A = this chain, B = another copy of it.
Amino acid sequence: MTRKIAVVVTARPSYARIKSALRAIVEHPDLELQLIVAASALLDKYGSIVKYVEADGFEITAKVYIVLEGETLLTSAKSTGLGIMELATIFDNLRPDVVVTVADRYETLATAVAASYMNIPVAHVQGGEVTGSIDEKVRHAVTKLSNLHFASTERAAERIIKMGEDPSSVYVTGCPSVDLAAEVLKKHALDFDPFERYGGVGAEFDYKDGYLVVMQHPVTTEMGDGLEQIQETLHAVEAVEVPTFWFWPNVDAGSDGISRGLRIFREQGRDKNIHFFKNMVPEDFLRLIYNSRGIVGNSSVAIRESSFMGIPAVNIGNRQAGRERGKNVTDVPYEKQAIQDAILCILDNGHYEPDHIYGGGAAGTQIAELLATAKLGIRKQLSY
């Protein structure tokens, strides 16, 4: 019998991380995809991920608006509550056999809570990893609400089991985000003009001789520090004087501080070597990174896809603290001088050998196969 698999996609990174699995689910003879696009993935302000989803040929089963404007701690909490209310209605209509939830955002938690209370088995992708911030609470809470675990690394799987999950429900599939990187490597030339295809604002420069990519998100448990943190990075990148593509942050409590920092910098006319984008098709984004001299900031792309592709990365601050990483990553605090030194160092060093800690590029296919064959149930009990 065909199993109905509901997947909730809510943001730029969660789409990139699950895309190869979505494709494998669509192609699997025993699975039917119910694709729910929700939250910031629907919003123009965050780059309308939904357009990329449609352009990639996926059929969208339902759209769910849950982001309460304000970007404060209060509105994050309320959006989570609203997400549960809205997703419950959707699940009640769609009656999926499994709900797939990705990573560690508030929509991830809302998805897992709604499905749990509706007695629908929950499959969690990217559980068992360790980082800083509120994500840490949310990720492991989702693990405890989930019935199937698709871990990205061996150590993540071990941690999930240590947390008391039934080992027979835990699989090391690798991270589906790496699948996309593997795909991109087969055809890795930067075959488009970023300015032309993605517009954006700021300086336009010759990027043929090398450039940096920067992506720095707010850290929700460090609310109110976003403005200062981003300024350290801005001043470091400014000092290095290398052409730079810079991406606006995710929607999150605290993203307004970062956005303000970027705007002030631009208004001071200091964006001489920097061009700002809201968003890119994931494949283009990975191609941009692959052809760069390095990535700077606190995005997990620096840890996952970049380790697989061998791209040097400067990781700033606590957001990725604790996450397993390859040799390509240099960690630095929120300090202009440290960031600048680390950037100079990676510019010197050049690309690394590929590292497969986050999987070898077949996570999506494995996840689809497991969704088709794994024993499903909602009952759990701590195994110790």
Please list the residues of chain A having a beta carbon within 8 angstroms of any beta carbon in chain B: 40, 42-45, 65-70, 72-78, 80-86, 88-89, 91-93, 106, 109-110, 113-114, 116-119, 130-134, 136-138, 140-145, 159, 162-164, 199, 220-221, 223, 253, 256, 267, 321-322, 378-382, 384
Chain B, residue nearest A88 (CB): B77
Known: A68-B69, A163-B382. 13 other contacts (CB 8 A): A44-B256, A74-B92, A77-B91, A78-B88, A80-B81, A81-B81, A106-B117, A117-B253, A119-B221, A119-B223, A137-B380, A159-B382, A322-B382
By a CB distance below 8 angstroms, the chain B residues around A68 are: 65-69, 82
Chain A binding surface, main DSSP class = helix
Q: How far apart are the CA atoms of A137 and B81 in the complex, in Å? A: 18
Query: Contact: A65 with B69, CB < 8 Å?
Result: yes
Chain B, residue nearest A109 (CB): B113
Distance between A134 CB and nearest chain B CB, rounded to angstroms: 6
Name the one of B70, B91, B106, B164 contacting A42, with C-beta atoms under 8 angstroms: B70
Q: How far apart are the CA atoms of A109 and B118 in the complex, in Å? A: 15
Query: Contact: B77 with A84, CB < 8 Å?
Result: yes
Query: Contact: A85 with B92, CB < 8 Å?
Result: no
Q: How far apart are the CA atoms of A9 and B253 in the complex, in Å? A: 24
Q: Are A67 and B69 CB-contacts (below 8 A) given A77-B113, A256-B44?
A: yes
Q: How far apart are the CA atoms of A356 and B142 in the complex, in Å? A: 34
By a CB distance below 8 angstroms, the chain B residues around A83 are: 81
Query: Contact: B140 with A117, CB < 8 Å?
Result: no
Q: How far apart are the CA atoms of A358 and B40 in the complex, in Å? A: 43
Name the one of B78, B140, B267 contacting A65, with C-beta atoms under 8 angstroms: B78
Name the one of B89, B141, B220 contacting A86, with C-beta atoms under 8 angstroms: B89
By a CB distance below 8 angstroms, the chain B residues around A110 are: 81
Name the one of B91, B109, B116 contacting A134, with C-beta atoms under 8 angstroms: B116
Query: Contact: A141 with B145, CB < 8 Å?
Result: yes
Query: Contact: B144 with A140, CB < 8 Å?
Result: yes
Chain B, residue nearest A85 (CB): B81
Give the 7 A-B CB pairs with smallest separation, nearest first: A81-B84, A81-B85, A77-B88, A77-B117, A140-B144, A67-B69, A141-B144
For A73, A84, A110, A380, the residue with the greatest tally of chain B CB atoms inside 10 Å of its CB is A84
Query: Contact: B88 with A70, CB < 8 Å?
Result: no
Chain B, residue nearest A42 (CB): B70
Q: Are A159 and B384 CB-contacts (below 8 A) given A70-B65, A89-B89, A223-B119?
A: yes
By a CB distance below 8 angstroms, the chain B residues around A378 are: 134, 221
By a CB distance below 8 angstroms, the chain B residues around A133 are: 379
By a CB distance below 8 angstroms, the chain B residues around A379 are: 132-133, 136, 221
Query: Contact: A65 with B75, CB < 8 Å?
Result: yes
By a CB distance below 8 angstroms, the chain B residues around A88 are: 74, 77-78, 81
